[in-house]
Amino acid sequence: MSNHRFFFSTRYSLLITRYYLERGVIKLANSSKTKGSGRSDGRLPDQLREVRITPHFVEWAEGSALVEFGKTRVLCTASVDEKVPPFRMGKGLGWVTAEYSMLPRATHTRTPRESVAGKIGGRTHEIQRLIGRSLRGVVNFFYLGERQIVIDCDVLQADGGTRTAAITGGYVALALACKKLQTNKLITKWPLTNAIAAISVGIVQGQHVLDLNYPEDSAAAVDFNVVMLDTGEFVEVQGTGEGSPFSRDDISALLDLGEKGIRELFMAQKEAIERG
């Protein structure tokens, strides 16, 4: 009788295990996806999250793109204004600027709107200046003519890397707006000198990793944001030892890792712009 009970309980356990495996509730410990990666989402240390860039996501903007780095989603729009800021008036030169914001429930708990608080927070100010600086670095303002393009980056969902996603998607939106200007014969020469993209890298649990998600970003001992041109030149590198100092060798390894990821982003950008 006891043997029958053992057979029934074992068979029942196997059926339950199979049920949950088929529905993805549990995963085998030796799954090839997670084996040896050491990362919370099973990626390899030098692997990007799934990247998707959807051009012309917004109908009315001259250029727009929804950029997704895994669960991070940022909507980037480019709006053409035939006026320039006062310091540019009468010089025959254009301008590019950027604004950045997050939806209240882009994060795990609601974040009050900054418009209600009546002022822009320090983090927002820093990020939108970074986006604007980065994108201005690839614009020939004479070819753009005396007009301004405003890049709006709105975070729909945040899971780490929102500023790097905003730069990457902001460039696509900017390029699509320039394509429209050229199609409408408002400009005669292409005003963008290079492609530009950005990614985060860091040291998590002693390992150099690419494209940090939120759990990794929160636990990182070292965190870098890397902004790079398609020539391989760096526009900006932001690096911080959050939990420990880092060496020159660490810097080289992280920059190499960042370059690898950004090269992949350039391909995604090019494909999105060609589709647009």
DSSP per residue, 104-122: GGGSSS----HHHHTS--H
Asked if 148 and 206 count as a contact pair (C-beta separation under 8 A), the reply is no
Pairing, β 148-157 against β 95-102: parallel
Residue type, 139: V
Residue 60 has pLDDT above 50, yes or no: yes
Q: Tens digit of pLDDT for each residue in 93-117?
A: 999 999 999 999 999 999 888 877 7
Please state the pTM of the whole predicted model.
Answer: 0.85
Residue 175 has pLDDT above 90, yes or no: yes
Q: Is 90 left (phi over 0), alpha (psi -120 to 50) or beta?
A: left
SS3 247: coil
Residue 182 has pLDDT above 80, yes or no: yes
Query: Which superfamily does 51-275 belong to?
Result: GHMP Kinase, N-terminal domain (3.30.230.70)
Instruction: Say what percent of the chain tops pLDDT 90.
Output: 80
Averaged confidence pLDDT in the chain: 88
Q: Which two tokens stand for residue 118?
A: 């009546």
SS3 68: strand
Q: Residue 37's pLDDT is what?
A: 58
Asked if 188 and 206 count as a contact pair (C-beta separation under 8 A), the reply is no
Residue in the structure block whose two tokens are 């590198």: 237
Residues in the chain: 276
CA distance 126 to 108: 22
Q: Which two tokens stand for residue 106?
A: 């882009």
Beta bridge partners of 223: 202, 240
Tell me which DSSP letter residue 186 carries. S
Lowest-confidence segment of 91-100, 120-129, 194-203, 207-216 by average pLDDT: 120-129
SS3 125: helix
Q: Tens digit of pLDDT for each residue in 230-274?
A: 999 999 999 999 889 999 999 999 999 999 999 999 999 999 999
What are the residue ranges spanned by the domains of the chain?
Answer: 51-275
